[in-house]
Amino acid sequence: MSKSTVSASANIAFIKYWGTTDLERALPCNGSISMTLSTCRSRCTVEFIAGTGVSTIHLADDDKPGSSLTEPPPRFRQRALDHLQRLQAWAQTQQHDADGHWRVVTRNSFPAAAGLASSASGFAALTLAACGALGIDPDADTRSLLARRSGSGSASRSVFGGFVEWPPPGWPGPGLGDADAEATCVARQLAPADHWDLADVIALVETGPKAVASLDGHRRASSSPHFAARQALLPARLDAVRTAVLARDLDRLGPLLEQDAIELHLIAMSSQPPIFYWQPATLAVLATVRDLRADGCSAWSTMDAGANVHVICAADDADRVAATLAQVDGVHQVLRDRVGDGPRVEAESFF
Ligand code: DP6
């Protein structure tokens, strides 16, 4: 049948998704706001083949057609196969002929061992390429919904470029039944990439896979005594971050995004059992970013469920920030990225 290749970027959240009411379908306890990146991308070719057969998923070693292939980690393989099955079942509900199996080859542009670890770009690209292979072109809400149902909630934001908000189920108010609240829990674009030229300078301090998956972090989050306190103050913080993004006000946005990241880690560290994502070099980078600010540079730190630090700054300051971070003991590599346009259909496929 047909084949489709799509690339999608990772995103970095200014307000983090941390804690779910339904882990399998990634229904968040709170809204989140993120910036879609440009060069940290996943590219994925999906072929849908009619009839019975065994679905295969491989990782490509480079971007060229005919690249050598390797087996993916078993956990990713199983999540991806489950998601493809889910998409097939959904397509059948839309009266599409979806009787068949899959061939998938995918690749991340960022170092696999970098511990960046967001599966957002991978599952956004897989979702959109699978829809393409089935001959379906879903609307924006449905793209986000299907990506979210992969279980990687942040993938629901990576189907858009620019600045993106993902509200919790039931938003904007009560009155929706459970099924409708699930089906309308989708992200939306707040502003396109050309709204604001922000950079994300990433200090890699960890090269292995993270010790505890985000899914376990979500599962444990509400066991922290600080979880409820963060939930209570998030609506006001989300309003303030949305306003700062729309006003392109980095001095307003920066303290809020840094505070929110620290609180995610406070919750992780005080969950039962606790999760310590930070390494000593994480703290060294945080101190260096404070020094940069004391020296007049508006640069702000955020960390996902890992030890690496994303430093958000104006694109014009990215050279200075990258050069400074490269000097910090324990920083193995500095990656440079910026706000990006979101997914695109690629002309060249892996096979
Ligand atoms: C800390 O469940 O979406 O990055 O498994 O990496 O896709 P992945 O994680 P997911 O949780 C993301 C958690 C976070 C915060 C965020 O991106 O909002």
Residue 312's Cβ-side half-sphere holds a number of Cα atoms within 13 Å equal to: 29
pLDDT of residue 119 exceeding 80, the answer is: yes
Hunting for tokens 């956004």 — which residue is that? 124
Place 16 in a pLDDT band, splitting at 50, 70 and 90.
very high
153 lines ligand 1 (CB under 6 A): yes
Minimum mean pLDDT range among 71-80, 115-124, 255-264, 278-287: 115-124
In terms of Cβ atoms closer than 10 Å to its own Cβ (0-12, 13-18, 19+), residue 175 is exposed
How would you classify the pairing of strands 56-60 and 32-50? unpaired
What backbone torsions phi and psi does residue 27 show, to the nearest 5 degrees?
-95, 115
Q: How far apart are CA 147 and CA 128, in angstroms?
A: 8
pLDDT digit string, tens, across residues 53-62:
999 999 999 8
pLDDT for position 179 = 83
Place 143 in a pLDDT band, splitting at 50, 70 and 90.
very high
Helices (H), the chain: 74-93, 120-133, 140-148, 155-158, 178-183, 214-221, 227-246, 250-269, 280-294, 318-326
**Ligand 1 center from residue 154 Cα (angstroms):** 5
pLDDT of residue 307 exceeding 90, the answer is: yes
**Ligand 1 center from residue 93 Cα (angstroms):** 29
DSSP state of 339: B
pLDDT of residue 270 exceeding 60, the answer is: yes
pLDDT for position 112 = 61
* 151 or 208, greater pLDDT: 151
pLDDT digit string, tens, across residues 272-291:
999 999 999 999 999 999 99
166 lines ligand 1 (CB under 6 A): no
Q: How far apart are CA 224 and CA 268, in angstroms?
A: 7
pLDDT for position 178 = 81
pLDDT of residue 174 exceeding 80, the answer is: no
- The mean pLDDT of 14-27, rounded to a whole number, is 96
pLDDT of residue 225 exceeding 80, the answer is: yes
pLDDT of residue 268 exceeding 70, the answer is: yes
Ligand 1, atom 1: closest residue by C-alpha: 304
Largest separation between any pair of C-alpha atoms in the chain:
64
pLDDT digit string, tens, across residues 231-252:
999 999 999 999 999 999 999 9
pLDDT for position 147 = 98
pLDDT of residue 215 exceeding 60, the answer is: yes
- Ligand 1 pocket test target in 9, 11, 17, 263 with most atoms within 8 Å of CB: 17
Mean pLDDT, the chain, as a whole number? 94
How would you classify the pairing of strands 56-60 and 100-108? parallel
pLDDT of residue 326 exceeding 80, the answer is: yes
- Ligand 1 pocket test target in 121, 238, 304, 309 with most atoms within 8 Å of CB: 304
Place 38 in a pLDDT band, splitting at 50, 70 and 90.
very high
**Ligand 1 center from residue 231 Cα (angstroms):** 17
pLDDT digit string, tens, across residues 74-107:
989 999 999 999 999 999 998 888 889 999 999 9
pLDDT of residue 115 exceeding 80, the answer is: no
17 lines ligand 1 (CB under 6 A): yes
pLDDT of residue 114 exceeding 70, the answer is: no
Helix (H, G, I), strand (E, B) or coil at 40: strand
pLDDT of residue 37 exceeding 90, the answer is: yes
In terms of Cβ atoms closer than 10 Å to its own Cβ (0-12, 13-18, 19+), residue 124 is buried
pLDDT of residue 118 exceeding 80, the answer is: no
Q: Is the overall model pTM greater than 0.95, yes or no?
A: yes
